[in-house]
Amino acid sequence: MVYNITHDKNPKPEDTHILSEGIANYARLKKGHQPIEHFSFFIRDEANKIKGGCNGFMYYGCLYVDQLWVDEVLRNQGYGRQLMQSAENYGRHKYCLFATVTTMDWEALDFYKKLGYKIDFERHGYTKQSVLYSLRKDF
């Protein structure tokens, strides 16, 4: 049998789901872990248009917030904090032990620190001298 490696610029969700299932099955086999669970919280206006939100996943006792975005018009009004608190509360409800998030030096480092996150590590070497920070908050 011949196997080929292909590149999908916009992969179908059902295709990437196969990868997630493979990882979950291996984690269950090796360590008895529950499957990875995804989550999202959104800010919606009266027309149901998304004006912000956060999403991520929970795996092996960790709540990972992958993305957090709030429309510029709504910034500095507490929505980002409310979204993070919603995610954290959900993680605690699902028995997560801690939360993690990554951010670039020019994004929201101070915001996450104000929420009680501590720098776990920093990675240099990105273009334009950008620095990536990984932060953690224990529950």
pTM value is 0.89
Residue 57 identity? F
Q: Tens digit of pLDDT for each residue in 69-80?
A: 999 999 999 999
Give per-residue pLDDT as tens, 83-103.
999 999 999 999 999 999 999
**DSSP assignment of 63-116, as one string?**
EEEEEEEE-GGGTTTTHHHHHHHHHHHHHHHTT-SEEEEEEETTSSHHHHHHTT
Q: Residue 8 class from Cβ within 10 Å (0-12 exposed, 13-18 middle, 19+ buried)?
A: exposed
Class of domain 35-138: alpha beta
